[in-house]
């Protein structure tokens, strides 16, 4: 990509003006990287690998600076962007669908009255990474004499998470009561999917 920039940028000077000192820096850093990179991997010493890594970072820094300072104003054409080895910005927003799959979790006991849910996808149900932006966990603590919930709608507390592991800390007064959880996916707009299975765990 660096060698492409060195040859292409001067060819569109009317639309993209990069200062001479920036082009010199790009050329020098590219040459330094290429010299090290041409050494076969089998012949590189640990010191050479370290130098190669530093040369690559230095070249990337110069390229990022040129892109940030000069590739956006005036704007380049999509053809220019492709010719520079970059990806044109997609101006058409991708629609976000409603979550279709189900989420559940395994319960882990961390000591005391601390439980951790290890959230996982229910195998066999649809999975869309864009739609499954995060999970809303509904939960409650019930004694044996309390009415048993039928679905997540009957649980009084909830929290949203994008983590795979989520901790819940209960109190001593909750010991021997049952913690009940139910999870549903949500997309980035807050639209929720279907309820997952009910999950129960005895609070130690």
pLDDT digits (tens, 9 = 90+) for 133-191: 999 999 999 999 999 999 999 999 999 999 999 999 999 999 999 999 999 999 998 99
Mean pLDDT calculated for residue range 24-33: 95
Mean pLDDT calculated for residue range 68-97: 81
Average pLDDT, the chain: 92
- Which CATH architecture fits 103-202? Sandwich (2.60)
Q: How many CB atoms lie within 10 A of CB 14?
A: 6
Domain ranges of the chain: 2-83, 103-202
Q: Is the pLDDT of residue 89 over 80?
A: no
Burial 120-134 (b: 16+ CB within 10 A, else e): eeeeebebbeebbbb
Residue 147, burial from CB neighbour count under 10 angstroms (0-12, 13-18, 19+):
exposed
Q: Is the pLDDT of residue 67 over 70?
A: yes
The span from the CA of 3 to the CA of 1, in Å, is 6
The span from the CA of 181 to the CA of 28, in Å, is 60
Q: pLDDT > 70: what percent of the chain?
A: 98
Q: What is the pTM of this model?
A: 0.57
């Amino acid at each position: 990509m660096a060698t492409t920039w060195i040859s292409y940028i001067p060819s569109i000077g009317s639309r993209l003006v990069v200062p001479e000192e920036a082009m010199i820096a790009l050329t020098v850093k590219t040459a330094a990287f290429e010299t090290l990179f041409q050494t076969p991997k089998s012949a590189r010493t640990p010191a050479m690998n370290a130098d190669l890594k530093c040369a690559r970072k230095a070249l990337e820094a110069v390229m990022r600076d040129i892109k940030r300072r000069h590739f956006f104003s005036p704007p380049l054409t999509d053809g220019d962007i492709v010719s520079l080895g970059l990806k044109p910005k997609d101006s058409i927003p991708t629609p976000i669908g409603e979550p279709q799959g189900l989420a559940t979790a395994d319960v882990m006991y961390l000591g005391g009255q601390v439980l951790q849910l290890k959230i996982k996808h229910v195998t066999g149900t649809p999975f869309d990474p864009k739609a499954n932006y995060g999970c809303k966990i509904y939960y409650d603590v019930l004694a044996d004499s309390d009415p048993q919930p039928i679905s997540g709608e009957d649980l009084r507390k909830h929290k949203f998470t994008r983590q795979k592991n989520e901790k819940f800390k209960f109190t001593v007064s909750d010991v021997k009561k049952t913690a009940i959880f139910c999870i549903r996916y949500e997309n980035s707009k807050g639209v929720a999917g279907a309820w997952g299975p009910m999950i129960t765990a005895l609070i130690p």
